[in-house]
Amino acid sequence: MAGTTDTGMDEAVSRPRKSSWTYIGPGIVVAATGVGAGDLVATLIAGSKFGYTLMWAAVIGCVVKISLAEAAGRWHLATGRTLFEGWRSLGRWTTGYFAVYVLVWGFVYGATAMSSSALPIVALFPDGPGLKTWAVITGLIGLVFVWFNQYAVFEKVMTVLIGVMFVVVVYVAIRVAPDLGAAFAGLAPVLPDGSLLYTLGLIGGVGGTITMAAYGYWVNAKGWTNSGWMKVMRLDNRVAYITTGLFVVAMLIIGAELLHSSHVALTTGDRGLIDLGTILEDRFGPATAKLFLVGFFATSFSSLIGVWHGVSLMFADFVEQIRKERVGLAVDEGTGAAKEVAAGERERSVPFRAYLLWLTFPPISLLFLDQPFGLVVVYGVLGAFFMPFLALTLVWLLNSSRTPAEWRNGILSNVMLTAAGLLFVVLCVQQVRDIPW
């Protein structure tokens, strides 16, 4: 077929790029986006309850995320097709699920991201505007920034934000004087009583969101569109999730040293980081507390603009694939979607900007109203099902003739992706059980 021939020619004329630190980019973006304030609080609480005992789970979680993101990036580079093109080839059911998911999830997430970004600003400037005002301001800043800037500028800003996150979190972890012996002992797999769900959450939760599916889109937006970039993508991906792993380890150390020994309980959700800021001020003074709040803001705002860009990119591709099918271009014939993403066509499209508006303005209403009960339930169910959906569809796609034989899953990839899929199914069941029906 024409599309297959084009992909083959691309691979034939493209020389494999040597993996180099100078290419690193999409991985930084996915790491900065995937780690939100709520993830950090969940890790802190695990550290506060079990000390260093679950350090091994953080390491396994890092390996799981590397496997998942590598699979998403490999699909984009090996086939020249986007992930949504792959999903569409599995049947129309994927379109129905994604359409409902992306609309409901975006509506609720928009309000959550804006509130999370506003919390540290309110704590830093208590005499300024209130939480809702700052939330609206951060949402509008995210909208304007993503609307008027394409991937290259977006990546640079995300690199700065993750740099701030990294320096602050590691600095605080060093300040609390970690017990290195206990930390290394925590690498031995042990399950204390009552720790199973916390362990599964550490392995599957931190950095595990829809942004993992967006990774392949950011790989294309960087200009990587064929298998010649495979080595570069793999290095980039490892850097991303090793960085994420370091965040998790640092937050476990903070939880173990500051909270576990003193039996301090944090508020669940993003507000738990405000509690931590107060504890840091009592122990280390206001300068450390303010620095931590700056890191809290970098964590939250990087997730906001990362979702504003990455999920809008996915939505634009979703709309474009539906449009092409309606005019008679079958997905299996290949449509050069990866090249269109690389050329910036998706970022300039009407669907991209329409979804940006959807993420910003309708959620503002949720800031001034209690979230409707039914919407919370639907959001929880759809969100719980996304990671199993991603893991298991990648197993399907990368073991089929849709992927060139050279780049199909090996034994290790199949084991890791299948294990990830099963893990996310367990987490999905637990999340659905925890929803306030």
Categorize the per-residue pLDDT at 436 as very low, low, confident or very high, splitting at 50, 70 and 90: low
The residue that leads in pLDDT, 420 or 359, is: 359
User: Token pair of 402, please?
Assistant: 């849709």
The residue that leads in pLDDT, 123 or 198, is: 123
Per-residue 3-state assignment (H helix, E strand, C coil) for the chain: CHHHHHHHHHHHHCCCCCCCHHHCCHHHHHHHHHCCHHHHHHHHHHHHHHCCCCHHHHHHHHHHHHHHHHHHHHHHHHHCCCHHHHHHHCCHHHHHHHHHHHHHHHHHHHHHHHHHHHHHHHHHCCCCCCHHHHHHHHHHHHHHHHHHCCHHHHHHHHHHHHHHHHHHHHHHHHHCCCCHHHHHHCCCCCCCCCCHHHHHHHHHCCCCCCHHHHHHHHHHHCCCCCHHHHHHHHHHHHHHHHHHHHHHHHHHHHHHHHHHCCCCCCCCCCCHHHHHHHHHHHHHCHHHHHHHHHHHHHHHHHHHHHHHHHHHHHHHHHHHHHHHHHCCCCHHHCCCHHHHHHCCCCCCCHHHHHHHHHHHHHHHHHHHCCCCHHHHHHHHHHHHHHHHHHHHHHHHHHCCCCCCHHHCCCHHHHHHHHHHHHHHHHHHHHHHHHCCC
Question: What confidence score (pLDDT) does residue 371 get?
Answer: 60
The residue that leads in pLDDT, 119 or 266, is: 119
In the chain, the amino acid numbered 115 is S
Radius of gyration of the chain (CA): 21
Q: What is the pLDDT of residues 218-227, one digit of tens each?
A: 999 999 999 9
In the chain, the amino acid numbered 254 is I
Question: What confidence score (pLDDT) does residue 331 get?
Answer: 46
Question: What confidence score (pLDDT) does residue 2 get?
Answer: 35
The Cα 336–Cα 85 span in angstroms is 10
Residue 398: name the closest of 91, 65, 73 by CA. Answer: 73
**pLDDT higher than threshold 80 for residue 383:** no
The Cα 260–Cα 301 span in angstroms is 28
**pLDDT higher than threshold 90 for residue 190:** no
Question: What confidence score (pLDDT) does residue 13 get?
Answer: 41
User: Token pair of 8, please?
Assistant: 């083959």
Q: Number of C-alpha atoms within 13 angstroms, CB side, residue 17?
A: 21
The Cα 197–Cα 218 span in angstroms is 32
Average pLDDT in the 183-194 region? 86
Average pLDDT in the 99-125 region? 90
Categorize the per-residue pLDDT at 1 as very low, low, confident or very high, splitting at 50, 70 and 90: very low
The Cα 22–Cα 24 span in angstroms is 6
Mean pLDDT, all residues of the chain: 85
Question: What confidence score (pLDDT) does residue 117 get?
Answer: 92
The residue that leads in pLDDT, 191 or 353, is: 353
Who contacts 90 (Cβ-Cβ below 8 Å, separation ≥6)? Answer: 393, 396, 397
Question: What confidence score (pLDDT) does residue 144 get?
Answer: 97
User: Token pair of 428, please?
Assistant: 């999905």
Categorize the per-residue pLDDT at 268 as very low, low, confident or very high, splitting at 50, 70 and 90: low
Q: What is the pLDDT of residues 291-311, one digit of tens each?
A: 999 999 999 999 999 999 999
Q: What is the pLDDT of residues 312-336, one digit of tens each?
A: 999 999 998 888 877 765 544 444 7
Question: What confidence score (pLDDT) does residue 130 get?
Answer: 87
Share of the chain above pLDDT 90, in %: 43
Question: What confidence score (pLDDT) does residue 378 get?
Answer: 64
The Cα 216–Cα 39 span in angstroms is 22
User: Token pair of 218, please?
Assistant: 């950011």
Average pLDDT in the 170-195 region? 87
**pLDDT higher than threshold 90 for residue 35:** no
**pLDDT higher than threshold 80 for residue 20:** no
Give backbone dihedrals phi and psi of 149, rounded to 5 degrees, phi first: -125, 140
Average pLDDT in the 373-378 region? 60
Categorize the per-residue pLDDT at 3 as very low, low, confident or very high, splitting at 50, 70 and 90: very low
Contact 34, 208 (CB under 8 A): yes
User: Which whole-number Å values give the CA distances from 396 to 15, 138, 387, in the listed order?
Assistant: 28, 39, 14
Low-confidence winner among 137-146, 162-171, 377-386, 404-413 (lowest mean pLDDT): 377-386
Q: What is the pLDDT of residues 146-171, one digit of tens each?
A: 999 999 999 999 999 999 998 999 99
Q: What is the pLDDT of residues 210-220, one digit of tens each?
A: 888 999 999 99
Contact 46, 201 (CB under 8 A): yes
**pLDDT higher than threshold 90 for residue 415:** yes
**pLDDT higher than threshold 60 for residue 338:** yes
**pLDDT higher than threshold 90 for residue 74:** yes
